[in-house]
């Protein structure tokens, strides 16, 4: 383990030296890449320095116990040694976690897509409630949310696409992809029967325009048409709506929320890049999952991942058999109590795999 860490420290020092080169400021892309790589390994370097200081302090106190004649000094060294040795296992565990292979998409912003599934109006209502849940969670995390597109139904929301930006958004949100099931008595149910409805959530890492995805414009058909539905004065009067068809993948993106055709086109290409990049991320995740049984968040959009049962006040995550009886707090954005166990589960599986190698 420590050979790996020493190699990372050497890489960190090399990157630090390169950032000191004044000519680097003329190469913005290279400087950004160096900064990103250095930032990604800095937590491991800091933790390793903390570990080495702790080990040094332990050795120093052991030396005092071996050589010091003064009983008061020996007693103080003994107490301090006990405290320091108790900290050692936790720091060693943190080092192991920091050494785990990182998902290269973890630092990225995300495109959130929520769609109503089975259940009619009740599913559409739940789309709006889940969007509110993610919006409140994003607020607590200090993330910024921006609605890219929304399709409202008679009651609730049929589909909403949102850009969420901030610190390491994908690392937390990636576990939300899949089918979310809601069980409750709809307002329109006269007999008081519990109905079951579903929605789908897709979390796609936002792709950089340069580097992550290269789109051949010959593969994209761009159609423009008049907007429909609610909107400003330009609705139904100008060809401001845009439809992109990516022919190799069959992905179709329609955007009409903006009055400007150019803005709709930019938004549509942003979502297209995210969807294409997400296909690569899913492929990589499935390859990893095939060798690491028990990993969650593999990108299977058809998997039923969670049930929200309102009559019983519970939320169940079926991937790790976790059930919590505080649905109100969760729907008000307290998602970490679901996300953190999923992160810990994946880390445990990966650690086990590292030990087997």
**What's the pLDDT at 128?**
95
**What's the pLDDT at 356?**
42
Residue 160 is encoded by which pair of tokens? 């909403």
**What's the pLDDT at 248?**
92
Answer for the pair 255, 264: CB distance below 8 angstroms, yes or no.
Answer: yes
**What's the pLDDT at 136?**
98
User: Percent helix, strand and coil across the chain, each rounded to 5?
Assistant: 50, 20, 30
Neighbours of 316 (CB within 10 A): 19
What is the DSSP-derived secondary structure letter of residue 288?
Answer: H
What is the DSSP-derived secondary structure letter of residue 101?
Answer: P
Which parts of the chain sit beneath pLDDT 70? 188, 190, 209-211, 228-238, 288-294, 297-301, 353-357
Residues 180 and 163: their CA atoms lie apart, in Å, by 20
β-pair partners for 161: 113, 149
Neighbours of 108 (CB within 10 A): 24
**What's the pLDDT at 234?**
43
Cα distances (angstroms) measured from residue 201 to each of 49, 58, 111, 160, 325: 41, 50, 11, 10, 22
Residue 266: how many CA atoms within 13 Å on its side-chain side? Answer: 6
Residues 64 and 52: their CA atoms lie apart, in Å, by 18
End-to-end CA distance of the chain: 12
Answer for the pair 310, 183: CB distance below 8 angstroms, yes or no.
Answer: yes
Greatest C-alpha distance within the chain: 94
Model pTM? Answer: 0.77
**What's the pLDDT at 231?**
44
């Amino acid at each position: 383990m420590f050979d790996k860490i020493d190699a990372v420290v050497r890489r960190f020092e090399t990157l630090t030296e390169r950032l000191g080169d004044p000519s680097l400021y003329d190469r913005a892309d290279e400087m950004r890449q160096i900064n990103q790589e250095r930032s990604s390994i800095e937590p491991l370097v800091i933790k390793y320095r903390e570990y080495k200081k702790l080990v040094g302090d332990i050795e120093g106190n052991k030396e005092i116990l071996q050589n010091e004649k003064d009983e008061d000094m020996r007693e103080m060294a003994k107490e301090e040694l006990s405290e320091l040795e108790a900290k050692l296992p936790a720091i060693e565990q943190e080092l192991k976690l920091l050494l785990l292979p990182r998902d290269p998409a973890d630092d990225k912003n995300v495109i959130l897509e929520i769609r109503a599934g089975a259940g009619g109006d009740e599913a559409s209502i739940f789309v709006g409630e889940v969007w509110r849940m993610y919006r409140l969670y994003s607020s607590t995390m200090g993330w910024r949310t921006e609605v890219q597109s929304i399709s409202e139904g008679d009651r609730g929301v049929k589909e909403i696409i949102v850009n969420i930006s901030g610190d390491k958004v994908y690392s937390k949100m990636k576990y939300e992809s899949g089918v979310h099931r809601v069980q409750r008595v709809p307002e329109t149910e006269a007999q008081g029967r519990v109905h079951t409805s579903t929605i789908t959530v897709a979390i796609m890492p936002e792709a950089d325009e340069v580097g992550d995805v290269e789109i051949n414009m010959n593969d994209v058909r761009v159609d423009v048409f008049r907007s429909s539905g609610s909107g400003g004065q330009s609705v139904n009067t100008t060809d401001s709506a845009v439809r992109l068809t990516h022919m190799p993948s069959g992905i179709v993106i329609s955007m009409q929320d903006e009055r400007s055709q150019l803005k709709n086109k930019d938004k549509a290409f942003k979502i297209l890049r995210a969807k294409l990049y997400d296909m690569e991320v899913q492929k990589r995740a499935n390859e990893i999952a095939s060798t690491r049984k028990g990993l969650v968040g593999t990108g299977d959009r058809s998997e039923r991942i969670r049930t929200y049962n309102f009559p019983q006040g519970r939320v169940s995550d079926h991937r790790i058999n976790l059930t919590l009886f505080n649905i109100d707090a969760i729907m008000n954005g307290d998602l970490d109590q679901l996300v953190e166990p999923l992160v810990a589960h994946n880390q445990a599986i990966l650690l086990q795999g590292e030990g087997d190698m």
